Structure 1
Amino acid sequence: MTDLQTPQADAASTATAGAEPLLEAIDLVKHFPVRRGMMASKLMVRAVDHINLSVGRGEALGLVGESGCGKTTTGRMLTRLLEPTGGKLMFDGRDITHLKGSGLRRLRQDIQIIFQDPYASLNPRHTVGKIIATPLRVNGIKPPGGVRGRVQELMELVGLNPEHYNRFPHEFSGGQRQRIGIARSLALRPKLVVADEPVSALDVSIQAQVINLLRNLQRELNLSFVFIAHDLSVVRHFCDRVAVMYLGKVVEVGDRTQIYDTPAHPYTKALLSAVPDVTMLGTKGDNRLKLVGDVPTPLNPPSGCRFRTRCWKAQEVCATTEPPLAQVDTGAVAACHFPESA
């Protein structure tokens, strides 16, 4: 990643300070039943297991962790594309956990999603104009100046040529297709956008452009973001706070400085240690933390702390008692019996 704009100290940086969160997930759970095999009726994939998150107005919350930890499932529950198995979702002071029908359609105007794959998320049979206009037509919204005028305004906002209104997705590059997806997500003027790895499918040279676009849109439109990503450098530049997930659990939440400079949870420390460091090229020795063993199956996660089977700090209490998310001396909150100190 290059040429990323450094976030400024603006309203977004202090969005949650003493204010009611825009979105709050309370003990959120998503279990998927296993439908094949002799024991299928008794097995459940515990994709997300009692997580607690909050997003302030104008804030960007990063959600990080290795593949399979439940990030995308969490994002889809937050947008109500998936029905939670348990827990509660509060948005703007109201319970949206089990909204259906017209209530859910109205919620779509406030919460939108940007999908990971800019190739698969756009209908190849529809023109760009029709794709971006779909949310307006589905919700029966007739903006001043007409639908076409609003769509062209959105295209210009995300850096696309409004004259390309009638082109099809295959006529655009990967970065341009993701801009189309961003324009579609902004059509209804949402308050919150869940960005599910929006740059992971793009060339490195294009990633910074898209991240800077999202950052500018956040400031101009006062958007809140849940930003799901693997690239920790992108999250550090874009997000005000970061939540780290492991095997369906949130193990640490803190601001940029707390997470990146003084990680408290051993898994967070190992995750940051895995980031490539160009200053180490050509040097002898490797001080990276190397985790032993594989990630346990979400069908039967370990008792107590789920990270204990790979943790160098694990003791007997880690197997018998699940650590709660509690504030540690780094200022963050971490779910660990033996957190790192500041």
Structure 2
Amino acid sequence: MSEELLELSGLEKHFPVTGGLIFKRQIGKVHAVDGVDLTVHAGEALGLVGESGCGKSTTGRLAARLLEPTGGAIRYRGRDITHASRKELKPIRSEIQMIFQDPYSSLNPRHTVGTIISGPMEINGIEPPGGRERRVKELLETVGLNPEHYNRFPHEFSGGQRQRIGVARALALNPKLIVADEPVSALDVSIQAQVVNLLQQLQKELGIAFLFIAHDLAIVRHFSQRVAVMYLGKIVEIADRTSLYERPRHPYTHALLSAVPEATTEKGGRERIRLAGDVPSPIDPPSGCRFRTRCWKAQDKCATEEPPLVRLEGNEEGHLTACHFPEEPTTQGENVVLDPALRG
């Protein structure tokens, strides 16, 4: 296994909830991220999946140090950057870049493409060989755009083209890690495959590590070497993609895989697992196992003891699950059907 590039240990992010008409006071807190342990190795793509509101994007922003963590630790290449100052983070910023979810709001409409992509170079005082304009045009070609687009504005591009501009901006400083926060969720289905295939090509050719955040399980399986499943601020299962998709152990992972469109089995179809109720409020999460209020296997123990994220009997090394009563290993996810455009 390659070196550990990014390590999150017991990471927490709580947002205060205030009340009062005149005198504001804190009456609670949102447990957005609550004890996350993750490791991203150099050159690998780690997928992070889960329902909306589970804390995926917050985890990504914490990893990139765009948010200040409430607790836990963030280590980058062995260095603790949990509470590093702006000055201390400056040399690291160039190595950790981010691709944002919405290509329509993440690009300044008043700046040209050249200004947007060269922005990171200007901020960091970097003058590449041949000048910034030459570097920007090279990046435009790398992401499949015409170098002549240098002086155009974002409104002149489609959603897919705008996201490619965002990718070019993320590549401007030759990063070692890119946090991709649902980079294709705002795009048309026909464009999603193009952007995902572009990212995969760049990952292989440039050796960039990715923390790839998404809710589309088929895309995550196509792109990532390992996958972590998140529920209500916690990681409930993590494994290499083959092990997780073909032999899931956590009931929540089973439920997610059962919802993948066009998934079939030899028996001619998989029964959809419909979860009871709604996702609990992160302001007052359930005691013990947070998934127990929607789990068909929950017992009294689940309400009093939080299950640790550990390797279960029969699991491959590196396949960790947080469940007191895990599912038996199956081949439930092995026949997830990918969009033809995503197939290699």
CA 1:57–1:317 in structure 2 vs 1: closer, same or farther (change >3 Å)?
same
Instruction: Measure, in 2, the Cα distance between the counterparts of 1:82 and 1:267.
Output: 28
Q: Which structure 2 segments of 5+ residues have no match?
A: 330-344
Instruction: Measure, in 2, the Cα distance between the counterparts of 1:37 and 1:70.
Output: 27
| 1:147 has 2:154 as partner | no
- Secondary structure of 2:198's match? helix
Instruction: Measure, in 1, the Cα distance between the counterparts of 2:103 and 2:282.
Output: 29
| 1:255 has 2:253 as partner | no
Instruction: Measure, in 2, the Cα distance between the counterparts of 1:104 and 1:278.
Output: 44
**1:202-237, CA deviations, whole angstroms, 9 ceiling, x for partnerless residues?**
111111111111011011110000000011100000
Count of residues paired in the alignment:
322
- Secondary structure of 1:35's match? strand
**How far apart are residue 286 of structure 1 and its match?**
7.2
**How far apart are residue 104 of structure 1 and its match?**
1.5
**Residue identity opposite 1:306 in structure 2:** R
| 1:229 has 2:214 as partner | yes
**How far apart are residue 194 of structure 1 and its match?**
0.3
CA 1:278–1:241 in structure 2 vs 1: closer, same or farther (change >3 Å)?
closer
Instruction: Assess if the C-alpha contact under 8 Å between 2:19 and 2:27 holds in 1.
Output: no
- Secondary structure of 2:61's match? helix
Residue of 116, 132, 145 corresponding to 2:101: 116
**How far apart are residue 20 of structure 1 and its match?**
3.5
Q: Which residue does the alignment assign to 2:320? A: 333
Instruction: Measure, in 1, the Cα distance between the counterparts of 2:119 and 2:151.
Output: 14
- When the two chains are superposed, the root-mean-square deviation of aligned CA atoms in Å is 1.5
Tell me which moved more, 221-230 or 34-43: 34-43
Q: Which residue does the alignment assign to 1:300? A: 284
**How far apart are residue 66 of structure 1 and its match?**
0.2
**Residue identity opposite 2:276 in structure 1:** V
Instruction: Assess if the C-alpha contact under 8 Å between 2:179 and 2:211 holds in 1.
Output: yes
Q: Which residue does the alignment assign to 1:88? A: 73
| 1:324 has 2:311 as partner | no
Percent of residue pairs identical: 66
**1:261-280, CA deviations, whole angstroms, 9 ceiling, x for partnerless residues?**
11100000001111122659
Instruction: Assess if the C-alpha contact under 8 Å between 2:227 and 2:244 holds in 1.
Output: yes
Q: Which residue does the alignment assign to 1:202? A: 187
Q: Which residue does the alignment assign to 1:3? A: none
Instruction: Measure, in 1, the Cα distance between the counterparts of 2:270 and 2:167.
Output: 40
Q: Which residue does the alignment assign to 2:37? A: 52
**Mapping 1:73-84, distance limit 5 Å:** 73-84=58-69
TM norm structure 1: 0.91
**Residue identity opposite 1:336 in structure 2:** C
Instruction: Assess if the C-alpha contact under 8 Å between 2:310 and 2:320 holds in 1.
Output: yes
**Residue identity opposite 1:301 in structure 2:** P
Residue of 29, 54, 58 corresponding to 2:12: 29
Instruction: Measure, in 1, the Cα distance between the counterparts of 2:301 and 2:263.
Output: 38
TM norm structure 2: 0.91
Instruction: Measure, in 1, the Cα distance between the counterparts of 2:75 and 2:235.
Output: 18
**How far apart are residue 103 of structure 1 and its match?**
1.7
| 1:214 has 2:199 as partner | yes
CA 1:219–1:278 in structure 2 vs 1: closer, same or farther (change >3 Å)?
closer
Q: Which residue does the alignment assign to 1:176? A: 161
- Secondary structure of 1:29's match? strand
Runs of 4+ in structure 1 off by over 4 angstroms are 37-40
**Residue identity opposite 2:88 in structure 1:** G
Q: Which residue does the alignment assign to 1:6? A: none
Instruction: Assess if the C-alpha contact under 8 Å between 2:110 and 2:153 holds in 1.
Output: yes
- Secondary structure of 1:289's match? coil
Residue of 171, 174, 181 corresponding to 1:186: 171
| 1:242 has 2:227 as partner | yes
Instruction: Measure, in 2, the Cα distance between the counterparts of 1:212 and 1:132.
Output: 21
**1:17-41, CA deviations, whole angstroms, 9 ceiling, x for partnerless residues?**
2x43100000000000012348951
CA 1:146–1:188 in structure 2 vs 1: closer, same or farther (change >3 Å)?
same
Instruction: Assess if the C-alpha contact under 8 Å between 1:33 and 1:40 holds in 2.
Output: no
**Residue identity opposite 1:114 in structure 2:** I
**How far apart are residue 258 of structure 1 and its match?**
1.4
Instruction: Measure, in 2, the Cα distance between the counterparts of 1:313 and 1:82.
Output: 36
CA 1:278–1:334 in structure 2 vs 1: closer, same or farther (change >3 Å)?
closer
Instruction: Assess if the C-alpha contact under 8 Å between 2:18 and 2:27 holds in 1.
Output: no
Q: Which residue does the alignment assign to 2:91? A: 106
